[in-house]
Structure 1
Amino acid sequence: MARERRSTPTRHARVRFLEAGLTVLAQDGYGALKLAAVCARADATTGSFYHAFENWAEFTSALIAYWRAEKSQRPIAEARKVTDPGDRIKVLMDIGLTLPHDSESAIRIWAAQDAEVRAHQQAVDLERRDFIAETYRDILGDDPRAELYATISMYLLVGYESGTLRSYEALDLGFRTFVESVVGPLDELGAPASPDA
Structure 2
Amino acid sequence: MVTKIDWLDAGLKVLADEGSPALTIERLTTELGLSKGSYYHHFKGTGGFRTALLEHFENSFTTRLIDTVERRPEADAATKLTELMELVLADADSVRLEIAVRAWALQDPEARAAQERVDQARIAYLQELCRGISSMKEPDHLARLLYLILIGAEQIVPPVPGAELRALYATTLTLATGEPFLS
If the TM-score is normalised by the length of the shorter chain, which range does it land in?
0.7 to 0.9
1:160, 1:171 within 8 Å by CA — same for their partners in 2? yes
The alignment yields a C-alpha RMSD, in angstroms, of 2.0
Q: Residues 87-144 of structure 1: CA distance to partner in whole angstroms, max 9, x if unpaired?
A: 1011111123135111111000000011111111011111111111111110126x65
2:77, 2:130 within 8 Å by CA — same for their partners in 1? yes
Displacement over 6 Å in runs of 4+ = none
Rounded to whole Å, the distance in 2 between the matches of 1:95 and 1:49 is 32
Partner of 2:165: 171
Using the aligned pairs only, state the percent identity: 27
Structure 1 gaps, min length 5 = 1-9, 188-197
Aligned residues: 176
Task: Report the residue type matching 1:127 in the other structure.
Answer: A
Q: Residues 33-81 of structure 1: CA distance to partner in whole angstroms, max 9, x if unpaired?
A: 2222222222322221111112110000000011101110111122123
Structure 2 gaps, min length 5 = none
Rounded to whole Å, the distance in 1 between the matches of 2:145 and 2:32 is 37
Partner of 1:194: none
Assess, with a 3 A threshold, how the Cα gap between structure 1 residues 98 and 41 changes in structure 2: closer, same or farther.
farther
State the TM-score, normalizing by the size of structure 2.
0.86
Cα shift at 1:185: 4.4
Assess, with a 3 A threshold, how the Cα gap between structure 1 residues 24 and 120 changes in structure 2: closer, same or farther.
same
Assess, with a 3 A threshold, how the Cα gap between structure 1 residues 134 and 51 changes in structure 2: closer, same or farther.
same
Q: Paired residue for 1:34, among 10, 21, 24?
A: 24
Cα shift at 1:153: 1.1
State the TM-score, normalizing by the size of structure 1.
0.80
Rounded to whole Å, the distance in 1 between the matches of 2:13 and 2:146 is 25
Task: Report the residue type matching 1:62 in the other structure.
Answer: A
Partner of 2:142: 149
Q: Residues 146-190 of structure 1: CA distance to partner in whole angstroms, max 9, x if unpaired?
A: 111111111112112333331214322222223344362433xxx
Looking at CA atoms only, which structure, 1 or 2, has the larger radius of gyration?
Answer: 1
Task: Report the residue type matching 2:119 in the other structure.
Answer: D
Task: Report the residue type matching 2:180 in the other structure.
Answer: G
- For residues 13-162 of structure 1, what are the structure 2 equivalents within 5 Å? 13-82=3-72, 83-99=75-91, 100-140=94-134, 145-162=138-155
